[in-house]
A and B are shown apart, each in its own frame.
Chain A
Amino acid sequence: MSIIDEFIDRYHRLSRRRLMFAVLFFVVAAVSVIMSLGFGTYHISLTEALNTFIDHISGGVVDRKDDLYVWDIRLPRAIGAAFIGAGLAMGGVVMQNLMQNPLAEPYTMGVSSGAFLGAVLSMMLGFSVVPALSGDMAVVCNAFLFSLIPVAIITLVSRFKKLSPTAIILLGIAIMYVFSSITQYLMVTAEAETLASAYHWRVGSLSKVTWENLPFLVVFVTVISVILYTFHRKLDAMYSGDRCAQTLGVNPSLLRGVCLVLVSLMTAAVVSFTGTIGFIGLVGPHIARMFVGSSNKLLMPSAVAFGAAFLILADTVAKVSGVNGLPVGVISSMVGGPLFLYILIKKNRKVWM
């Protein structure tokens, strides 16, 4: 066998292995959705839960109470977790490519600080952007609209001035600091109880996902992820720098502008319902990248599947730990941090560039 054949052979083996990992991520995600139906504070075994699920689909509800828990509470929550994890991981992949920076994540543009300010304004001052709304809906609506302000400002500025990725990141940081300092001021001057509820909002929880708001989430994440996926080749080109991208026929500023808006919309949709669940958007893409490489064609779906699986599993632990137990964001960082570290050392290779 000549050396070239050997190289080709090795390349094929590598591609096969990567594809296998991608498929594996999807299988894990699917299994964890089903598994998560059997876990929670309400005691019902996994097989019973699955039977209830099948009964509901085939139209014959046996036990109303079981059905309520499995179909109306756990299923939307599991699906919601899958889409939220997927959306955040997708956003992370796109942002890291766009900004050519391993630290970039969906929240880099200030989406999370905007959302939090919106939520806090509604919780503490009763301010609502859409006057007709009050209570939880006002919080969600405020969070959604405020989280789009940073990207709106940056889009506006980029009409007048050409911005480098670094400049965009720094502008994002500047806006983020303004928002979070106002939030901090409100938090520090608030009553202890109000502060506690605002803090709990920020930590993030999936318990607010129901059949009513799930379609909104699913549509946003699916549509935007599909659009972003069609850019996968262009984003590959961006990964190697603006100049390279230009040589390869991509308009970097245009692509960046479009993608930023899309990612922000998707992240805003996710964050406004759940609070700012961190970690997945930043680390999900990196973990996926270590297994499948950095070609976006495979990386994007793998990261999506990994994000979904990871958040469902984290949320399952959160559900089991009870009402006053561990929030999902805490679990994902507590488990994911060391896991990420382990993979980083074990793989002992460059994860970026």
Chain B
Amino acid sequence: MNPIESSDELVTRYHRQALRKLLVLVVSVVGVIVVVGLFSVSVYDSVSIMEAYGIIWDHIMGVQHAPRSTEWWADRFIWNTVMPRVVAAIVAGASLAAAGALMQSLMNNPLADPYSTGISSGACFGAIMALVLGLTINSLSGQSGMVVNAFLGSLIPVAIVILISKRMPVSPASLILVGTALSYFFSSMVTYMMVITDADTLQNAYIWQVGTLDTVTWESIPLMFGVTVVGSAFVMFLSRQLNILSLGDANAKTLGLDVEKFRIVCLLVMAVMTASIVCFTGTIGFLGLVAPHLVRLLIGSDNRFVIPIAMAMGAFILVLADYIAMSVSDVPVGVVMSIIGSPIFFALILWQKKGYGTVY
């Protein structure tokens, strides 16, 4: 970088970076909207893409169509099959990306993701206990039993971390290591259950673990949506503190942040956010780890921007991947995401420019 720069250059550079942020955000949001249209048309192909938008808009506005008209049928199809899936994908994508960004800042570690404290293995433990052993909390059966089990299971590791946090240093390294120990413990139980069960149950359990949006219905949305809105508002509210934290614990303390308490509170919020998603969809990987990195590579690592833009980007990636997964049929959404996303991620790491986001 040239040390002597005129103020004009600085101003143009600043404008260019601001524009870049805006551009990434707009592309993500527009991307989501386009995919929603394509998705609707692929399910009910006797309407055009613009008509599909019209129908969705009408439904939101509360317009009633004449029974058994084209619009009426289109409305039923789109609203009952496409929309729950799409809304779930948007909410899940945004939530996992925000949780990922939060964890990476919280732990000061590029390898951290929402599952780092053992949430995913806890959730698997709960869900697979329901599936393999038929053990559920308050004896719910079938799908809802699994959901409740997974939700509670995913909170166990974090609860343990919080309980023992008084008796150990709450540094990023030790938190991560405790989380890793817990997740090894729970996944060993999962593995054990998977090994003792018969091949068919193992298959079901494996598919749950890989993650899918197939099973999401309108009933799942309120919890996901509510938790995500509250959680991500909270995270955005704390983005300045997260920026301070990235200077390291000692500096953050000097600047007046109660690092230990802050970390525990954030961990709890992140856990509830992730749990509310994972219990419905299974453990969809890749997104929580990679979406924040993608955004940082594109716009730099100021959390005030990273978090909202990562949410938009996460929603876009998950919706798009789910659309592709559904059109190709039978491919799990996580697989689509990794196969398309990883090469892009790879290229971005290689061609990152100095000045914009170097990853940490």
* Chain A positions near chain B (C-beta within 8 angstroms): 101-103, 157, 161, 166-167, 169-171, 173-175, 177-178, 180-182, 184-185, 187-189, 192-193, 195-196, 199-200, 203, 278-279, 282-283, 286, 324, 326-327, 329-334, 336-338, 340-341, 344-345, 348-353
Residues A188 and B199 in contact in the complex (CB < 8 Å), given A181-B334, A333-B188, A344-B177: no
Residues A195 and B177 in contact in the complex (CB < 8 Å), given A181-B335, A184-B332, A279-B184: no
**Min CB–CB distance A126 → chain B (angstroms):** 19
Give the top 10 A-B pairs by smallest Cβ distance, nearest first: A337-B185, A333-B188, A181-B338, A192-B199, A352-B173, A177-B338, A333-B184, A196-B199, A181-B335, A192-B203
**Min CB–CB distance B92 → chain A (angstroms):** 18
Q: Is B61 an interface position by the 8 A CB rule? A: no
**Min CB–CB distance B95 → chain A (angstroms):** 20
**Min CB–CB distance B348 → chain A (angstroms):** 9
Contact between chains at A184 and B210 (CB < 8 Å): yes
Residues A344 and B174 in contact in the complex (CB < 8 Å), given A185-B331, A337-B184, A338-B181: yes
Contact between chains at A189 and B330 (CB < 8 Å): yes
Contact between chains at B195 and A166 (CB < 8 Å): no
Contacts of A336 in B (CB 8 A): 181, 184
Q: Is B286 an interface position by the 8 A CB rule? A: yes
Contacts of B189 in A (CB 8 A): 330, 334
Contacts of A173 in B (CB 8 A): 111, 289-290
Q: Is B143 an interface position by the 8 A CB rule? A: no
The residue that B182 contacts in the complex, of A180, A326, A337, A352, with Cβ under 8 A, is A337
Q: Is B72 an interface position by the 8 A CB rule? A: no
* Chain B positions near chain A (C-beta within 8 angstroms): 109-112, 164, 167-169, 171, 173-174, 176-178, 180-182, 184-185, 187-189, 191-192, 194-196, 199-200, 202-203, 206-207, 210, 285-286, 289-290, 293, 330-332, 334-339, 341-343, 345-346, 349-350, 359-360
- The answer for the CA separation of A248 and B177 in the assembled complex, in Å, is 30
Q: In the complex, how many residue pairs between chain A and chain B have their CB atoms under 8 Å apart?
A: 165
Contact between chains at A333 and B342 (CB < 8 Å): no
Residues A338 and B206 in contact in the complex (CB < 8 Å), given A103-B109, A173-B289, A178-B338: no
Name which of B109, B173, B360 has the most chain A CB atoms within 10 A of its CB.
B173
Contacts of B174 in A (CB 8 A): 344, 350-352
Contact between chains at B177 and A351 (CB < 8 Å): yes
Smallest CB-CB separation from A189: which chain B residue? B330
- The answer for the CA separation of A175 and B350 in the assembled complex, in Å, is 13
Q: What does DSSP make chain A's interface, helix, strand, loop or mixed?
A: helix
Contact between chains at B192 and A330 (CB < 8 Å): yes
Contact between chains at B173 and A353 (CB < 8 Å): yes
- The answer for the CA separation of A282 and B168 in the assembled complex, in Å, is 20
Contacts of B178 in A (CB 8 A): 341, 344
The residue that B349 contacts in the complex, of A167, A200, A341, with Cβ under 8 A, is A167
Contacts of A352 in B (CB 8 A): 173-174, 177
- The answer for the CA separation of A182 and B337 in the assembled complex, in Å, is 11
**Min CB–CB distance B194 → chain A (angstroms):** 6
Smallest CB-CB separation from B286: which chain A residue? A177
**Min CB–CB distance A211 → chain B (angstroms):** 27
The residue that B202 contacts in the complex, of A174, A195, A333, with Cβ under 8 A, is A195
**Min CB–CB distance B192 → chain A (angstroms):** 5
Contact between chains at B110 and A338 (CB < 8 Å): no
Contacts of A203 in B (CB 8 A): 191, 194-195
- The answer for the CA separation of A334 and B7 in the assembled complex, in Å, is 60
Contacts of B185 in A (CB 8 A): 333-334, 337-338
**Min CB–CB distance B293 → chain A (angstroms):** 7
Smallest CB-CB separation from B182: which chain A residue? A337
- The answer for the CA separation of A340 and B314 in the assembled complex, in Å, is 34
Contact between chains at A327 and B293 (CB < 8 Å): no
Contact between chains at B195 and A327 (CB < 8 Å): yes
Contacts of A334 in B (CB 8 A): 185, 188-189, 192
Name which of A283, A344, A348 has the most chain B CB atoms within 10 A of its CB.
A344
Contact between chains at B199 and A345 (CB < 8 Å): no
Contact between chains at A324 and B196 (CB < 8 Å): yes
- The answer for the CA separation of A84 and B206 in the assembled complex, in Å, is 28
Smallest CB-CB separation from A348: which chain B residue? B168
